[in-house]
Structure formats: structure tokens, C-alpha cells
Structure 1
């Protein structure tokens, strides 16, 4: 038996005066149910195939709400809208007709002599006569998922089956919005791979997209609509929870581009969600065991307990790391931040990494977030590339924006060319944090390669020898500053930082150029040196470095 469509409804009601007023393009829309709208906030409770009936009272004299009504019902793939006239409206408002024509959404004028209940009964009677075919489809859907489960179908097979049934690309995420599986359609004009980073166990969508998606099953309606921005227009995505016993184990996302979802499609999605929930419950214990194994792996790796190249290779690959690539270790150190803040930092790291197309792995240890940054083959094996520095600068901006008031520093190691020794790189990153804490600017991102001279001085010479070297080079200048309360030491440092350019150095210190020249002449007099000898200048700069890592007062 053929479906009951808008066209058939008009044929049925035409003799009693019903007329199509807008949306002729939607004449073939299928009707599966009749529903009455009496609340402007009830849009989300309607589903595909619903024919909505209203007197228009709740939209009276509100043009914006009238347009919103049509937009929301069209986005929900409802079949059409029936408006009873001559009670609150003499005719259907122009705003509704214009919006409906724009979206090809059918709007039918219902004669005053008919009650909404009568129209609802007519529609439901027609629908019920055709329900045998719907029930058959429902049984087919149920049998298909039952067969898939009996034959041990995994999430990839469930997603493929779902995609075949709803005729759209489908993506399955875990409860943290990391990718579990997906299935592409050959006729998809907006390819998943062109728009999304499809890497298992990593974020697929940005935080902006997932914000607002309920994490509690109680807050979900039939589905949640999200729009994915595309240069050719927003892509509609339908989000369905994978839930069991009011616990959300993940989400099914339909990339609605090749077929508008109908009522029967939502039945398929519900069955898919149930099958996926059972699969997720079965694997929950396995995931918990994997998490424990992952934590043990990182602990052993950082402590240098893994000594076999083959062992680190196989274990790293299990945990989504490519050990054949070079890596950089970055340690984000916070000041007594709660664990929830550290988890938020990890989410920020993952979100920024996804936007920068950068592969990372992050773990929490005490007050630190330790991040392993995978490098591209073309990137330098000697120092962090411009792209890596750009990624970390962007990360710093995002942490500052999301965690206002958080006191933290980021220490960045050298490039690790042997993943077996990544633990040493982690220690270097922590060493960078320790040394950076002694510098005047102790917040921000600090790189081992930028502080390598400080690291060398701090790790290879005892403090007494460093003190003697400083006294020999700049002791007289330090004593003059102390007695006369001057700033000749910082003046000399600015002079070197500006490569001897007086104009740049004076601007950096916010003093007049002549004042800066006077100070430099005074420094030359105290040091009894004209600052033209390269070797002497090197010793002075080294002494200034020493003053940053030990107390030379």
C-alpha cells in the first residue's frame, strides 16, 4: 500500500474546503502521524513525518515566532502544517507563507467548520490503514539488528547497517565525543573526510559543536539537531544518544545530506542505539582494563622501565602512538589545580590539536598535564618547528580564555628522536619548568632550546664556581647598583638584548635615548672596558645568565 502524503491529504480534504497555501515542493512529503501544537517550546518533541495542526493563537501577532515555527518544523522533517482560520486569523499570515515557500514546506488552510480533532482523526485513520507496511519495515529493522548482534557484529558493522537503513553517512562517538566508528556513503556531496578528522579514539568535532549536547539521558528528546558549518551552507546533523539505564555510553550522529530522515528512520536509529549500547556495556570492563594498562604503560615509559625497542613499539601502537615518529614532550604545570581543571586542560589540548591537525597524547600526573606531541616527518629533528610553537601559543591562549585566573607554566623539551627515551625528554621539560621559575617572567611557554645555556650552567657547574665567575665579570656593577640604587645591570642586559642598538634598548626600558647612553658610559667606566671586545661581552652575557639561576646578591 502506498504512503499517505500531503498530496493525498489535500485530495481527501479538498471537497470540504482545505487548500494548499504554500510549499508546493513538499507535496510528496509522507505523513506518519498528526500532532497539535499548543506550546511554542514544543518543537523538539515533534518528529519526522508529523503533520502539525494549530489554530495559530500562540503565534498571534509575532512575525518572528511565525517564521521560527516554519524553520523548526522543516528542520525536524515534519510533513506539513495545517492552520485553522477564521478563529484567530482571517487568513494565514504572509510571514508564514513566505517562509514556507522558501523552504518548500507545505502549509494547508483548514476550514473553520472542521475541528483540529476531526482533521487529526482523518489523518490517523488514513495512516493506520497503511501501517502494515510500516510494521513490516519495523520487523525488518529489528531482525537486521538482532542478526547483527547474534553474529557478533561490532560497532563498525552496526554503523554500516545503520547508514544503509537511514541512507546517510553515520558517525558513532563515545561519551567523550571521541570517534568509535563511521560509515561514508558513495553519493555524499560533503565527504566526511573533507570536513572531519576521522581518527579512532580522537575528537571528531570541535568543542563549539558538542557544547550543549546533553550528557544525561534524561535531558534528551528524540534527537538533538546540530549544524556543522560548511562553506556551501550548514550541514544538518542529528544526534541520538546511545544510552542504557539512564547512562549515556556515546552518540550516533547522522550526517543528513543525502536523505531527509523520516519516522521509520528514527525507529532504525533507536534500534541502532540499543544495539550499540549493549556492545558498549559489554566492552566497558575491557575499556577499564585498557585504561589501567595505558596508565601502567605511561608510568613504565616515563620511569625508563621499558628497555626493549620491540616492546615499546608494540605497546605504543596499542595506545595510538606512532613510535617511529619524532616527538616533543610538553609539561603543563599548575599550582594545586583540582583534577577537574586538569581534565579540562586535556580537553582543551585535544580541541586545539584537532584544529591544528596535530596528533597528541595527554596524561595527568600529580599537578601536571604531560603531553606527547607527534611531529611530521618534514619537521626539524633539532628544535621545535614554527608550527609546533604556533600550536603551543594557540594552546596557551585557549587555556587563558577557558581557565581564567589559572596559574600555570608550560615546559617544552627538545626533540626526542628515539621514543624509548621519551622519559628523558619529560625530565628535560620539567627541568625547563624549574629553571623558568627563576626567570623574571615565570608564566607562559618555555622551550629547552631557548634556555639551553641556563640548563648547561645549572646542571654542570657548582654554585660557588658560578658565583666566582659572576663576581669576576660583573661584581663591581652589582655593587654599584646596590650602593647607589641604580639599574645599570638591567641596562646592560637591555643593551645586549638589542644587539647594541641604543634606540631599541632605550624604548624597551621606557627611558630617553640620552639617559640610556649616559648609563652605558657609566657602565664602561665602572667595568673599565669599552664593551667592544667579543670575548669580554660573552663573559658579561654569561654572567647575566648566571644571575638568573642563582642568587648573586
Structure 2
């Protein structure tokens, strides 16, 4: 237990002493004892000292100087001031008494016949005994937590042991205050009512911490204090060790156990991180081999999966998440590559929270998710809706934190065996690319929704694709006038609306007559017969090819076709 000002009165020579003022500070801890008979003594104390004085150097001080002197002592966190009266001063000055009350710095009066040594010796003995107790307690706590760490017991056993040592419930949270483990589930959820930085010197600790007054909804709404100790792990990631002050007041001695527990938790998390890094590398290599069909034998693949507890007999859908800088933001200043950047890491966590059973692989600016689904043969559309709904939730959560980024999603179809994973991966890539082209920078697209694009994207050679563009459309693409893009957009929208000029004008925000004029101009340039369903179909296919390969490959092909 810590030696405090109020414990002084257990010393025989101080039983006749009495507190003049500052009784609110009787719980101040004492960490040393010093005689002050010089006016500049405040510059030489370090905090926690019990000060003894006859006020000889202060005899000439006026009230304001007396208050300033007391303020200096308080600022240096002195524990108390014991004043011997009868030799140089008969009455304790009013300025010292007034400042003592304001600063909660106890002033204790002793008679002149009490020698300082009869105070210093017992106080030093008590402090020495207290240090011995602390050392014994430190060794006990240190040995206990080191044993738990070496035995690989994990965070639950560490906080359970801490709870026994300090007599208060303990909860461990991640950096976002999501609970990891707790000794009392009723105290996991809380609402902060008041926040204050705690006095580290009073608790005799170098660890940063703060105190909060909180309400516990699951504990009948009771209000208590709790201490939050941030514990830094690898990559500056913090977890939070929270001591709920529900059973007893947290004391300085408790922080010996808390510091040791925090160190063990940090070591345990470093170990977990190292193991996870190895497992992730092993898993990532296996995923890459599966997605790129680099399988030497099914037996070796299943053996590798078994080592990390991955069931390859389930049905998986490959889903790709890709980050892009939003319009108006400098893409060069936004590092989107690798799991160790904050955007990828937060997206990884959001996905993991939404799909805890999913297998996630980070690659460049993408996250690849092997999404485990139930048997999709019964209702494929329901399975797809479920994935889209979850992707929308992930996207919405991500945008709350990062408005300067776009999150795009591509969804493949189900792979019923590991040999079908490359096909699902290719489909997710096509859905991601085409969905962005067709539906914008925040598209969530499934391969099954791509329609004819599913067929067209099987042809990877842009030159081969361009051969399927009909001659009539090629003439429009070769048209060198400034309004070419307007004519192409009008034709595309006109065919999408089944040649309805009114709906086309409405979507393009132009006059109806503008649309009819443009259509007639297109007919003149291309010779297209919009009454011929076969030709209309070929033009529609050509426009979709144009979406896939853009202008440059088409222009190259037109130049060589002499159109």
C-alpha cells in the first residue's frame, strides 16, 4: 500500500500534530522527505516530498509572496508542509493557510521541541518498507505474466490474472474499441460521460493513461470510472486495456500489475502478428496458385489448405474490391498499394467484419475475397443479392471514413470446386472493369449481369474485337467533325431506348428536334438502315465493343481497313 499524508499520524512523534489547513490533500502520496530552510527550495524538489520547515526564510514574506511560494510547492507536487512553530514564527501566516486550502496542500503544525530526525527516520523507514512491498509485488506480477506469455496462454488468461491481482474487472479492446475479451461481459458496452487526463505521477507510472466517467447500459445503467491504458503493438497499432473501477479504487500499487500485464499483452500480440504474417504469406501463395491454376496435384493443394485450416470443399465466389482516387483528388498523393497502407487496412477490417468466414488476399490496389456461400443451385439470384447487399454495406461504411476514394466491386460466379476458381476470378476481373465503364466509379457489378459483354470479353485481342464493328458504325467512328462524340452518344442512347426519340431527348437533356436531326445526320454519314433488325443488332454490338476497347484500338483498325 502507498504511504500517504494521513499515515503520518500513526508515527508516535506526530500523534500530537494537527492539520491546520488543506485537509483535502491528506490522500497525497509521500515519496520522500526534505527539510526546507531556503527560499528557493521549490526549484530542487522533484515531487511527492514531505517538506519540513520552521519558516525561517519566509519571515519577511508578505501575503502574496507566501501564496506564490505555496503555489510553487503545489506545482512541484509536494505532498504536505510540516511547520515547526515557536522558534521563528509563533503563528502560521494567513497567506500560507489560504493557499493551502485552495491548492489542497496540507499544512501540519508541530511544536518546536519535536526534532526533525524523529519525523525523518520513521518516514524513511515507512517508505523503505513500502518500496520492499512494491518490489515483492512487482516480482510476483512480473513472474506471473511472463509465465503466461511463455506458456502461450493468450489475452484472456492475461486479463483474468490481472483481474485477480487488482480486484477490478478488465476488458481488452482493439483500436476501434471493439471488445477482444473481458472478465465481465456486462461492462463491455459503455457510454462516455466525462473524460479527463489522469495524474501519472500520482499513480507512479510511466505508462500513458486516461480516466473516463462512463455509463454501463448492460449493468442497469450504473455510472463508474474506468481507466484506459493504450498499449502500442507493431506498426503503431494500439489496443486498449480498460480497468473498470467498479469494486475498489485503483491505486498506484495496481499499476505495477497493470504495467506488467500491458507488456505481456504487447508481446502476445507481437507473437500473434508474426504468426499471422507467416500464415497470411502461406495463404496468399496458395490463393495465387489456385486463382492462376498453378496446381501440381490436388493432394498437395488440400494438404497446404489443411495446414491453415482452410476448407476447400466449400463453394466460393471470387469478389474483387478495388480502390481508386475520386475525381478532384490527386491520385499520385494517395498511396493505395499494399495491406500496410491505412486505406487497404481499414477496408480489410470492414470486409472481415462483414464476411468473417471469407478468405481475403491483398494484391496491389485490390482485395480479393473468396466468399463462401451455401449451395447456390437452389436460388442463384438470392445468393447474388446477398453478396451485393454486403458489398453495399462495406462500401457505405468505407465512404464514411474516406470520401476521397472510390470503392469498386466486381463479382464472379460460384466456383463449385477449386478447379473453377480461375474462371470465377477472371469473371470478377471482367465485372470490375466493365462495371466501372458502364455504371461509374463506385459500381458494384456481377459478371452474370453483364449480358452480351460476357461473350465479348472472352476475346482479349482488341484488333479481333474491332473486326466485329459493322462498316456503318466504322464510318461514324471515322467521322472527323467536332460533333462526332455527340452523334455516337445520341445513337447509343437512341438504340438503348428502342429508337424512342422523346426518351432519348429526355436522357440527353436536349430538344426532341435535336435528336431527330442527329439521327438523320447519322443516317447520312453511315447509310445505316434502322429498320433492319440485323443491322441494328450489329451496331448495338459494335457500340458495346467500343465500350470495351475505347477509341484508340478502333482508330488503329480503321486506318488499316481503309474505311
How far apart in 2 are the matches of 1:229 and 1:415?
Answer: 48
1:332 equivalent in structure 2: 322
Distance 1:165 1:122, change over 3 A: same
CA contact (8 A) 1:302 1:426 kept: yes
Residue 372 (structure 1) aligned with residue 369 (structure 2): yes
Distance 1:15 1:283, change over 3 A: same
1:164 equivalent in structure 2: 164
How far is 1:470 from its partner? 3.1
Residue 238 (structure 1) aligned with residue 229 (structure 2): yes
How far is 1:490 from its partner? 0.3
How far apart in 1 are the matches of 2:212 and 2:500?
Answer: 54
How far is 1:135 from its partner? 5.1
How far apart in 2 are the matches of 1:284 and 1:310?
Answer: 27
The partner residue of 1:304 within 267, 288, 293 is 293
Q: What does 1:429-468 correspond to in 2, within 5 Å? A: 429-432=428-431, 439=437, 444-445=442-443, 447-449=445-447, 450-459=449-458, 467=466
Residue 222 (structure 1) aligned with residue 224 (structure 2): no
SS at match of 1:189: helix
SS at match of 2:489: helix
How far is 1:347 from its partner? 1.0
Equivalenced residue count is 467
Cα RMSD (Å): 6.0
SS at match of 1:254: strand
Residue 269 (structure 1) aligned with residue 265 (structure 2): no
How far is 1:330 from its partner? 0.8
How far is 1:381 from its partner? 2.8
How far apart in 2 are the matches of 1:178 and 1:466?
Answer: 50
CA contact (8 A) 1:477 1:526 kept: yes
Larger of the two Rg values belongs to structure? 2
How far apart in 2 are the matches of 1:235 and 1:516?
Answer: 70
CA contact (8 A) 1:171 1:183 kept: yes
Residue 386 (structure 1) aligned with residue 389 (structure 2): yes
How far apart in 2 are the matches of 1:423 and 1:227?
Answer: 52
CA contact (8 A) 2:24 2:106 kept: no
Residue 253 (structure 1) aligned with residue 241 (structure 2): yes
| TM-score under structure 2 length normalisation | 0.59
CA contact (8 A) 1:332 1:410 kept: yes
2:141 equivalent in structure 1: 141
CA offsets 1:335-392 (integer angstroms, 9 cap, x no match): 9997966531421312433675766554444x44332164676994346422313424
SS at match of 2:320: strand
SS at match of 1:261: coil
Distance 1:397 1:147, change over 3 A: closer
Q: Tell me, which stretches of 5 or more residues in structure 1 are unaligned?
A: 37-44, 61-65, 70-77, 98-106, 196-219
CA contact (8 A) 2:477 2:484 kept: no
CA contact (8 A) 2:323 2:336 kept: no
The partner residue of 1:315 within 288, 305, 310 is 305
CA contact (8 A) 2:158 2:261 kept: yes
CA contact (8 A) 1:226 1:237 kept: yes
SS at match of 2:340: helix
Q: Tell me, which stretches of 5 or more residues in structure 2 are unaligned?
A: 35-45, 52-65, 83-92, 111-115, 192-204, 218-222, 325-330, 556-563
CA offsets 1:178-200 (integer angstroms, 9 cap, x no match): 999954223x53326x99xxxxx
CA contact (8 A) 1:410 1:433 kept: yes
Q: Which range is displaced more, 234-243 or 296-305?
A: 234-243
CA contact (8 A) 2:494 2:500 kept: yes
How far apart in 2 are the matches of 1:388 and 1:125?
Answer: 67
Distance 1:153 1:358, change over 3 A: closer
How far apart in 2 are the matches of 1:353 and 1:120?
Answer: 63
CA contact (8 A) 1:223 1:241 kept: no
How far apart in 1 are the matches of 2:446 and 2:229?
Answer: 46
How far is 1:263 from its partner? 1.8
SS at match of 2:514: helix
